[in-house]
Amino acid sequence: MITFLTHYYRQGDTPFRSLSALSDSDAIQVMESLYVDNPVADRFKEPAQYLYNRRQAEHWVMSEFIAQGGNPQENYPLYAVLGYSQWMEDNLSALELSRVRVPLSVFSHQDISFTYPDSMVTYWLGADKESAHYQSQYHGKIFTLSDLEMLEDIYGVPENKGRTSLWEGMGPYIEYIEAQIWNPQPLYDYLNSKSF
């Protein structure tokens, strides 16, 4: 079973920052400055639409997480990847990314949720059940710490592509299980203990 999270962020920046913490105008300004024609920043091509979609997805994930016993301490999560993203690992230098790993053991059931894959993608696919990519077992659903072993046993993990067709045709840059950290205090305590 995977026992850690990885957070990817731009070299020189502070990790675990969120566009959702900003006002709409400030978030749009940041996205416009980040936009370049590449697979990661392409999502910022239409920043106002992206922000609207992101806020909708975050509201949905939070509501579903609360329904499953989660206790969010913030109105938006901080993001990480369960285990790691092979595509991100392969492109750290080209994308000028840094990473930080955090053990899952610092979080409780009430602190963290997961989507399979990215929360915006699963929210969209859950709403558009006619999509060729829609998989009823995991799209339009959120998962908790207690679901992880079952998910790995049944569907495999993104790097183990022989186990599932979930990732086919969806783009290598979203081949991961996303973690949403709703209570950042355990994360901050861990990072402070490591003098990060």
Dump pLDDT digits (tens) for 73-124. 999 999 999 988 888 888 888 888 999 999 999 999 999 999 988 899 889 8
Q: Let me know: does 51 contact 35? Beta carbons within 8 Å.
A: no
Q: Let me know: does 99 contact 6? Beta carbons within 8 Å.
A: yes
Name the pTM for this structure: 0.86
Q: Let me know: does 175 contact 158? Beta carbons within 8 Å.
A: yes
- Per-residue DSSP letters for 86-129? HHHHHTTTTTTEEEEEEEGGG--TTTEEEESS-HHHHHHHHH-T
SS3 of 38, please?
coil
Give just the sign of the alpha carbon dihedral 157, 64, 24, 16: negative
Q: What is the pLDDT, as a whole number, of residue 112?
A: 97
Residues 110-160 pLDDT 10s: 999 999 888 998 898 888 777 767 777 788 899 999 998 877 766 565 555
How much of the chain, in percent, has pLDDT values that exceed 90?
Answer: 49
Q: What is the pLDDT, as a whole number, of residue 164?
A: 47
Q: What is the pLDDT, as a whole number, of residue 6?
A: 96
